[in-house]
Amino acid sequence: MQFSAVMKQVKSHVSRVQKPVYKNLAQKKVSAVTYQSLSNRPLLPKYEKNISITDTSIATDASPSNSPELLESSGLPAAKALAQLRSRIAKGDKIHLEEYLRSKHFVFKEGREERSMAYLKHALGLVLSKTRPIISIDCESYERQHSKVTEVGITVFDPSTSSSSMIPHIKPIHLIVEEHIHLRNGRYVPDNKDYFSNGTSLVVKEVDAIKILKVLLQKLLVEQDGIFMGHAVSAEVKFFRLLGILLPETINKIDTLDLVRISRNQGSLRSCLRSLDIPHGYLHNAGNDAYYTLLAGLGLTDPVTRIMKNMDVYYEGEKAKKVHHDRSTFLRVDDVDVLISDLL
């Protein structure tokens, strides 16, 4: 039998094989494309009251509900204090920092209460002074040889320039190291080098990337007593050393990884952003990671955000699965009034 005839029979057999019918999202993630193309459309999970609608694919599995009922049903003595703070915020009352820190609503991990409170006070004191510039930095390296830095993301925020604006004036940039531009990740780490959300990536020689970092770090951290923010700061410091950059020990540092672990047993930037309901995408792009780390740091050092997102109550939830995609999840809304009440 000729090869073409054999292939024709194979194709005929494959076309007769029944495709699986996915009953829920645990079996298959459903997006607009897959939902439209499936002849047997899957049964979408139902939208429930107070569910996180920023990223339901993980919020329902790994994050607590943001409703006060969660704490109240747990029987914790801090429930009343938290409910009072939420009520005041809903009325538009201002929560002063000293009042927030004196509140009895904090429930940190047993055995780490003092350490957690001390680090939270340290971070709040640095950021809420609103006098220091913040520089967030993320470095990406080649997954098969971590000594080769392939990308550098830098985001700068100076609160003094945004005091009269509803939107903070944030400057994100994405540097791609020219000598390593051909090195691509993808086996162990997502390859998102081409997906900087701000649109334009800058290709520079390694020596110029080092110069840019040195100038910014010297001006913002040393001369202006600014704040260095990172997610796992120690990892960025190691990359700096590879590039011949040594940071003074006395600079102000905030590690968003340490901050989120006060509240959750999860450590990834992705899970941190989900806990705060911050929309995000294409992580493991250095420019995006630096930008989102800054947003996460601002959220984790804002008392109102911490109260409303239950970030002052330690939650020992299940660790999120490592799913590296930016596809949204569909939920079926049967009662639109429930959704409207959650949005108001």
List the end-to-end C-alpha distance of the chain, in Å, as a whole number. 69
The answer to whether residues 79 and 72 touch, using CB atoms and an 8 Å cutoff, is yes
Give which of 128, 198, 137, 124 is closest to 159, Cα–Cα: 128
The answer to whether residues 326 and 282 touch, using CB atoms and an 8 Å cutoff, is yes
- Is residue 116 a part of any domain in this protein? yes
Give which of 179, 183, 180 is closest to 144, Cα–Cα: 183
Q: What is the pLDDT of residue 329?
A: 72
* Rounded Cα–Cα distance for residues 158 and 170 (Å): 8
* Mean of per-residue pLDDT scores for the chain: 82
The answer to whether residues 105 and 81 touch, using CB atoms and an 8 Å cutoff, is yes
* Rounded Cα–Cα distance for residues 51 and 172 (Å): 31
Over residues 166-222, the pLDDT tens digits come to: 888 999 999 999 999 999 999 999 999 999 998 899 999 999 999 999 999 999 999
Residue 73 CB burial class (10 angstroms; 0-12, 13-18, ≥19): exposed
Name every residue whose Cβ is closer than 8 Å to that of residue 143 and which is 6 or more positions away in sequence. Answer: 185, 186, 187, 188, 189
Give which of 85, 194, 185 is closest to 140, Cα–Cα: 185
How many folded domains does the chain comprise?
1
Distances (CA, A) of 33 to 29, 37, 39, 146, 173: 11, 6, 12, 37, 32
Is the pLDDT at 33 greater than 60? The verdict is no
- Is residue 127 a part of any domain in this protein? yes
The residue to which tokens 């990223």 are assigned: 55
Is the pLDDT at 18 greater than 90? The verdict is no
In which band, very low, low, confident or very high, does the pLDDT at 337 lie, cut at 50, 70 and 90?
A: confident
Q: Phi, psi at residue 170, to the nearest 5°?
A: -115, 135
- Is residue 179 a part of any domain in this protein? yes
Sheet holding 145-157, edge to edge: 202-204, 170-177, 145-157, 134-142, 227-230, 252-255
pTM equals 0.80
Q: What is the pLDDT of residue 327?
A: 72
* Rounded Cα–Cα distance for residues 251 and 226 (Å): 8
* Rounded Cα–Cα distance for residues 69 and 53 (Å): 18
b/e per residue 109-121 (b: at least 16 CB within 10 A): beeeeeebeebbe
Over residues 280-325, the pLDDT tens digits come to: 999 999 999 999 999 999 999 999 999 999 999 998 765 555 555 6
Is the pLDDT at 24 greater than 80? The verdict is no
- Stronger pLDDT, 68 or 333, i.e. the higher one: 333
Domain residues for 147?
88-309
Distances (CA, A) of 204 to 182, 191, 211, 228: 13, 19, 11, 23
Distances (CA, A) of 217 to 136, 181, 199, 243: 10, 24, 24, 14
- Is residue 129 a part of any domain in this protein? yes
Is the pLDDT at 343 greater than 60? The verdict is yes
Crossing angle of the two packed helices 113-127 and 286-300, in degrees rounded to 10: 110
- Is residue 247 a part of any domain in this protein? yes
Instruction: Tell me the average pLDDT across 142-148.
Output: 95
Three-state DSSP at 160 gives helix
Over residues 36-94, the pLDDT tens digits come to: 544 455 667 777 766 554 443 333 333 444 444 455 555 567 888 999 999 999 999 99
Is the pLDDT at 238 greater than 80? The verdict is yes
- Is residue 214 a part of any domain in this protein? yes
Q: Distance of alpha carbon 70 from its chain centroid, rounded?
A: 23
Read off the CATH number of the domain in which 168 is found: 3.30.420
* Rounded Cα–Cα distance for residues 123 and 173 (Å): 24
Over residues 90-101, the pLDDT tens digits come to: 999 999 999 999
Largest CA distance in the chain: 85
Q: Report the range of poorest mean pLDDT among 12-21, 38-47, 65-74, 104-113.
A: 12-21
- Is residue 96 a part of any domain in this protein? yes
Is the pLDDT at 30 greater than 80? The verdict is no
Question: DSSP secondary-structure letter at 332?
Answer: B
- Is residue 59 a part of any domain in this protein? no
